[in-house]
A and B are shown apart, each in its own frame.
Chain A
Amino acid sequence: MTRKIVVIRNYSFTYEGSRKPAIRDVNLEIEEGEIVVIAGASGSGKSTLLRSLNGLIPHVYKGKYRGEVWVDGMLVKETPTYILATKVGFVFQNPENQIFMFTVERDVAFGLENLGFPRDEMIKRVEWALDLLGLKKLRKRAPHELSDGQKQRVAIAGAIVLKPKLLVLDEPTSLLDPETAYDVVGLVKELNESLGLTVILVEHRLELVSSIATRLIVINEGRIVGNDKPERVLSDVNLRKVGLSPPPIVDLQVELRKRGITIDPIALDIDEFLRELDKVGK
């Protein structure tokens, strides 16, 4: 039986000093093991939603908080951030904002040290995380000397080491070259499969992630305006109006539909598209 790892009920949040709510009346449930991609225009509330999961909101960012956000059975606003930190791993867009120790292994260990884990357990877990992310050979290197893709691996290792149930990534690939970006996305998928980790990912480049997502959520002006399988959400032309930039292959199928060639559901990669195109006799 699948468990719900995130439950959000009638949730609204307005930052202190702001009049407009950043999140309005959000209701959302995410099941364990899902890979959920969140997309939306710049300033739509994506980051606010992510910050609401690990307790940065309301514990660090203050404001008017209404409704309930539950993560792994805990009410976020009543749970201290040090406990949430063990449930929700967070990876930012720019790994340089996240990694700062002298060596890779110290960096990966930082979260554990901070939470006062016993030494034996700490060593065990750091080994495990370094191994899982292929960082063993780089353990003594200084993080700032690493390539951007390696830095992002270190940031992910630092999040995974706390053995969270939920991994939240805020545009983790936007500074990476296309090959490295695909590597990181592939890695996230692997972690999802091997650890049963639930993943919530904010990403603009939908061509990168739509094929691994179990669900695509679209946010506009703080509200959820799309929430379904990616192929379903991406076929909805109205979502373009809210700033979603669909992959060209999806755009193409939307245009073909207008001319009487319907591929349903929409194919998310080129090979699938070509197979479907064959079937409809083109």
Chain B
Amino acid sequence: MIKFESVTFIRPNGVVALRDINLEIEKNELVTIVGANGAGKTTLLKHMNGLLKPTKGRVLIDGVDTRKTSVASLSKKIGLVFQNPDHQLFSESVETEIVFGLKNFGFDEREIKRRTEEMLEFFGLKELRDRAPLTLSGGEKKRLCIAAVLAWDPDVLVLDEPTVGQDLQNRLKLYEVINELRERGKGVIIVSHDIEFLWPLQARTIVMADGRILKDGPAYEVFMDKGLLKAARIRQPQLAELSTKLSLNFPFKGVGDAVERLLGDG
């Protein structure tokens, strides 16, 4: 579905932001990407819907070179939700923000109405439908951005720092969105610093540092490798840290797992 072939990206100011990236992501995969600020994570995402084009190498989406197609047609497939909602939101109301994308992609009136209502309901935005997006709280803005992209039902949802400003209910809602999309055969790619949010997902995890992929493996390998984490300036999630300190071969993957095994041992 998504294929990076020896992709290097050099910014206009000469900074090398991606170095020889080779990567394949299948259509229905859940992939998380971690790394320090400036590691190249967001730059990588922007290559997925053609917002940025490689300096060297190529990016293929469903076999199509991103240089040979439009951002709009790529976005229909790869729905990217930006880190900073202020870069995405521009409509005069919450409702029209969701309607806009749907109109652009040519959905008919009835379908637009149905999907908009569904998204407003699911993301708890119904009461805010007439508010100007820029007057919302940070957490509300973030939810609106996700709703607006999810509305057109892309094949892959790409989320850049989705948990910023989100409380427990909304974090649980995000897990729900991820699970539901997965059940429907969709892909989800998440860039996040929020390691405690990522750990229970136990997803394929890509570690980036200085424009490179340092490691691409399951979460339990990545987050138990202290040398790797140090090199990438990432910390261990608490349950991984606990597992390391208890010298466990198989880390606790969740609180429930930890309780059972701690009690079982003694």
Q: List the interface of chain A (C-beta within 8 A of B).
A: 40-44, 47, 93-94, 147-149, 171, 174-182, 204-205, 207, 240, 243-245, 247-249, 251-252, 255-256, 259, 261, 270-271, 273-274, 277, 281-282
Interface size class of B (residues with CB under 8 A): 35 or more
Contact A177 B168 (CB under 8 A): no
A181/B193 in contact, CB under 8 A: yes
B218 neighbours in A (Cβ, 8 Å):
none
Contacts of B194 in A (CB 8 A): 205
Other A-B pairs beyond A248-B199, A255-B256, A259-B263, 4, CB < 8 Å? A43-B139, A147-B38, A177-B233, A274-B245
Contact: B235 with A178, CB < 8 Å? yes
* Cβ distance A40 to chain B, nearest Cβ, rounded Å: 7
Closest 9 CB pairs of A and B: A42-B139, A243-B167, A41-B167, A245-B168, A179-B233, A178-B235, A148-B37, A177-B36, A248-B238
Residue B118 at the A interface, CB < 8 A? no
A34-B166 Cα distance, complex, nearest whole Å: 26
Judge whether B202 is part of the interface by a CB distance below 8 angstroms.
no
Asked if B258 and A42 make an inter-chain contact with CB atoms under 8 angstroms apart, the answer reads no
Contact with A along B148-191 (1 / 0, CB 8 A): 00000000000001011111111100000000000000000000
Question: By the criterion CB–CB under 8 Å, are B164 and A175 in contact?
Answer: yes
Cβ-based interface call for B101 (8 A): no
Q: Chain B contacts of A247 at CB under 8 A?
A: 196, 238
Q: Which of B138, B193, B196 contacts A176 (CB 8 A)?
A: B193
Determine whether the beta carbon of A147 is less than 8 Å from that of B193.
Answer: no
Establish whether residues B164 and A244, one from each chain, have CB atoms under 8 Å apart when the complex forms. Answer: no
Complex-state Cα separation, A80 to B30, whole angstroms: 52
- B137: chain A residues at CB < 8 Å are 42-43, 47
A33 to B85 CA separation, bound complex (whole angstroms): 35
Cβ-defined contact, A270 with B193, below 8 A: no
Q: CB distance B165 to A42 under 8 Å?
A: yes
Once the chains bind, are A40 and B167 in contact (CB under 8 Å)? yes
B242 at the binding interface (Cβ < 8 Å):
yes
Contact with A along B98-122 (1 / 0, CB 8 A): 0000000000000000000000000
